[in-house]
Structure 1
Amino acid sequence: MSHKVMHICLSSGWGGLEMYPSRIIPELEHQGWEVHGMALAGSRVADSLRAAGVTPLTVASRGQALLATVRILSYLRRHHIQVLHCHKSSDLRLAALLKSLRPGLRLFFTEHMGVTRPKKGLYHRWAYGKLSRLFSISEATRARNLKAFALPPERIQRLYLGIDPAPYAAGDDSQALRGELGTPQGALLIGLPGRLTPGKGQDLWLEALARLAERAPALPWHAAMIGGLTASEGSDEAYVAELEAKVTALGLNERVSFAGFRSDLPRLLGTLDIVCIPSTNEAFGLTVIEAMAAGRPVIGADSGAIPELLDSEVGRLAAPDDPDAWARQLEALASDPGLRQRLGKAAAERVLRDFTLSAHVAALCTAYTISMESA
């Protein structure tokens, strides 16, 4: 009989945290685990679990989940589920209660966001004290977690995220796809993929592009901002309006396009000549390794976890508050095709070595198994 795990994500939002359970389900199953899920009824998380082949146990709200404790315990017993894995701190109220009532459960939590304040009060000591392991998705977040939680260091494990590199390696540098992004024939294509929200750095990036135009007026380039434009797509509509106004104010209307949400990001990344990730404080930087897997040279913000992913062998870093530094890095890469090719090749090789989904899930399964064996 295969081991069984339930992933709990009672979130009504939609971002990397919410996408994570469905993203790893196929690999978990490939590595011999039977996966169950729990989500809010009508949420995109629930829909994503179904799309991954898992029919989730659903509740109307987090409050209703607490009231449904007996029903949830019955489900766990009926399906012989040994492991619970949570992804939002608010879900730990339920998970810790379930473990209190059924001590044999093994409880895990992935800290996706990076804590900003201590969590050492009585409640936090009780809830987080039930954990077999707290996963930090970078060294930067692990350092913060070691300070924030009243847990011994051995129970706070750094576990980098991973991707399946195959769809990104396929790429697509067709002129037709470049044309969809408004790129003139022969122009260099610079892209910034990600949610359009404050903190992702699109405003600084636009300043850098304006300075690039001043520094190298003869350089032919086009820039595409790739990400949903509406709240339902995870973006901040007021911020989007600010960015649109800034494009006009900087005189970049002919050189910057808003690509909107794209479901074909692996294919799209392959057509970019340079990828920019100017986020001010990424807990990991999944888009960074996606671009690396596509063999693209990446300029990333020298903050958060991004420096753990990028070094001078595979990309470039620039201060997240210095548009001149970004303009200099853009000019250096834009004017040197050989450098772009070398960085992109080394970046793709690093993903294969350090950031694959199969390796991530294998480490996850090892942690699950060790916890059960030590029960």
Structure 2
Amino acid sequence: MTQIRGILHIDLSARYGGADVRVTQLAEALSEHHRCSVVCIEGSGLHERLREMRVNHVPLSSGRGDPLTGHAIAQLLRSGRFNVVDAHNPQSQLWGALAAAATRTPGLVLTAHSQYRQEHGHRSVRGHAYESVLRLGRRLGARFVAVSDATGEYLRGLGIDPDRVAVIPNAIGAQPPVPPAEDVVPATWPPDRLVLGTVGRLEPVKGLTDLLDALATVRAEGIDAGLVMVGEGRERAALESQVRELGLSDAVAFAGFRKDVDAVLPALDVFCQPSHSEGLPFALLEAAASARAVLVTAVGEVPGVVPDGGGIVVAPGDPAALADGLRRLASSPEVRLRMGTALRESVGARFSIEALTEGTLAVY
């Protein structure tokens, strides 16, 4: 543990997602007693959110792959105001590790929010490249934070000393009830339609093609369900094509990126997360805080989040199992209410921001 002079979080993400929520939570909480700032990309979703929260931040005009980004981070460290670096995605971890080494900054921490090779494909060049950044951190003596037990095991499998890996789950703060956003569900949909929703990046690892197949199956059986997809990503065009091929154009809405997820979730009857890989997803915690019934896959820490009776958990990559889950959830509003209430009570007791902050400070 380093005597903390200042904490510099590095998060060079382009789109605002779960990892960025954790960064904003930590930066806000740590700033109460420590100098703390966040390096981000100018104009990104994270930059906008930090500005709204009035959290100290340093927006960079250079891109994630630009060596000037590493130079700017090194300049911040040379100022002497920060002696702890916490980097939160592969590009951030590369520049953070190199800058910390160049400036002999003692407190280098790399936070892994997912399993890189599994997320990007075991044969993916990108996945291998990202893992090489973690190995660089290992050689430089970094400490590591994993957001789930599965991610911690993944880090240890890369040869990282178990004593240098701390598992600190994501957190969700206490949230007052928020009225549902009125523009989430298309006005043309029938008022009694079962509204399903996903929140997250539109990427292959999220398993959204499986959910569309399941939706087509249950609609063919006469269950009137519709799906709202919140988020953007590389797979959007392919998903839109699949929607047309399955004849789901009047039952699927692409809502794009939304900042008001806390208002989106109450507009849903069921939150769905059919991912093939996850750590501890923030969207699931947010759905729990909103007391939504959930249909999720057994990946990462997801099964440990959902208690018995608190939702439906199925195997990943199995559209038939997802369809079975949709049938159960469509059968009874009372079942959905009971599941959502049980999940909210369980998550609220186990995933606090106080525990996240205290655990992270112990690593620093």
For 2:165, which of 156, 169, 181 is the aligned residue? Answer: 156
Q: Check whether the contact 1:5–1:35 (CA below 8 A) recurs between aligned residues.
A: yes
State how far apart, in whole Å, the 2-side matches of 1:70 and 1:243 are. 41
Q: Which one of the candidate residues 131, 147, 160 is aligned to 2:157?
A: 147
1:85 maps to what in 2?
86
CA distance in 2, matches of 1:172, 1:188: 18
Q: Equivalent residue for 2:39?
A: 38
Do the aligned partners of 1:182 and 1:257 also contact (CA within 8 Å) in 2?
no
Determine if contact 1:171/1:269 at 8 Å carries over to the other structure.
Answer: no
How big is the shift at 1:94? 4.5
Aligned mates of 1:290, 1:41 — CA distance in 2 = 26
Letter in 2 for 1:328: D
Deviation at 1:142, TM superposition (A): 1.1
Is 1:196 matched up with 2:202? Answer: yes
Question: Does structure 2 conserve the Cα–Cα contact (< 8 Å) formed by 1:4 and 1:82?
Answer: yes
Residue in 1 that maps onto 2:337: 341
Over 3 Å counting, the alpha-carbon distance change for 1:292 and 1:181 in structure 2 is farther
Summarize the alignment of residues 277-296 of structure 1 with structure 2, pairs less than 5 Å apart: 277-296=273-292
Per-residue CA deviations over 1:323-366 (Å, capped at 9, x if unaligned) read: 11111111111112222111111111122112233321222123
Q: Which residue of 2 aligns with 1:6?
A: 8
Instruction: Please tell me whether residue 71 in structure 1 is matched to residue 75 in structure 2.
Output: yes
Structure 1: runs of 5+ lacking an equivalent: 229-234, 369-375
Deviation at 1:48, TM superposition (A): 4.2
Does the aligned pair in 1 maintain the 2:70–2:96 contact within 8 Å?
no
The AA in structure 2 aligned to 1:163 is I
Which structure 2 residues correspond to residues 196-235 of structure 1 after superposition, within 5 A? 196-215=202-221, 217=222, 219-228=223-232, 235=233
Matched, 1:127 2:128: no
Q: Is the 8 A contact 1:25 1:52 kept in 2?
A: no
CA contact (8 A) 1:171 1:270 kept: yes
Structure 1 distance, partners of 2:344, 2:278, is 20
Please list, as runs of the form range in 1=range in 2, the aligned pairs for 1:26-65 lying within 5 A after superposition: 26-30=28-32, 32-40=33-41, 43-53=44-54, 54-56=56-58, 58=60, 60=62, 62-65=66-69
1:136 aligns with 2:143: no
Matched, 1:352 2:348: yes
Q: Look up the equivalent residue of 2:171 and give its one-letter code.
A: G
Offset at residue 59 of structure 1 (A)? 6.7
Q: Whole-Å Cα distance in 1 between the matches of residues 89 and 132 of structure 2?
A: 19
**Per-residue deviation, residues 27-53 of structure 1 (Å, max 9, x unmatched):** 2224x2221233445555445444443
Structure 1 pair 321–99 and aligned structure 2 pair: CA distance change class (3 A) = closer
CA gap of 1:8–1:224, structure 2 versus 1, over 3 A, is: closer
Which residue of the partner structure matches residue 271 of structure 1?
A: 267
Counterpart contact for 1:276–1:298, Cα < 8 Å: yes
Do 1:109 and 1:131's aligned partners in 2 also have CA atoms closer than 8 Å? no
2:27 match: 25
Contact 2:172 2:348 in 1 (8 A): no
Q: Tell me, which stretches of 5 or more residues in structure 2 are unaligned?
A: 118-126
Aligned to 2:114: 113
Equivalent residues of 2:88, 2:111 under 8 A apart: yes
Instruction: Identify the residue that residue 315 of structure 1 maps to in structure 2.
Output: 311
Q: Distance in 1 between matches of 2:69 and 2:255?
A: 39
Check whether the contact 2:12–2:40 (CA below 8 A) recurs between aligned residues: yes
C-alpha separation between the residues in 2 aligned to 1:252 and 1:118? Answer: 37
How far apart in 2 are the matches of 1:266 and 1:204?
25
Tell me whether 1:245 sits opposite 2:241 in the alignment: yes
CA contact (8 A) 2:293 2:339 kept: yes
Aligned partners of 1:181 and 1:259 also within 8 Å: no
Q: How far did residue 60 of structure 1 move?
A: 3.0
Q: Which amino acid aligns with 1:158?
A: V
- 364 and 323 in structure 1: CA distance in 2 versus 1, 3 angstrom threshold: same
Equivalent pairs counted in the alignment come to: 350
Structure 2 CA distance for partners of 1:159 and 1:127, relative to 1, 3 Å: same
Which range is displaced more, 192-201 or 45-54?
45-54
State the secondary structure of the residue aligned to 2:195. strand
**Which one has a bigger Cα radius of gyration?**
1
TM-score when normalising by structure 2: 0.83
Do the aligned partners of 1:181 and 1:257 also contact (CA within 8 Å) in 2?
no
195-204 or 81-90: bigger deviation: 81-90
Query: CA separation of 1:334/1:66 partners in 2, compared to 1, >3 Å: closer, same or farther?
Result: closer
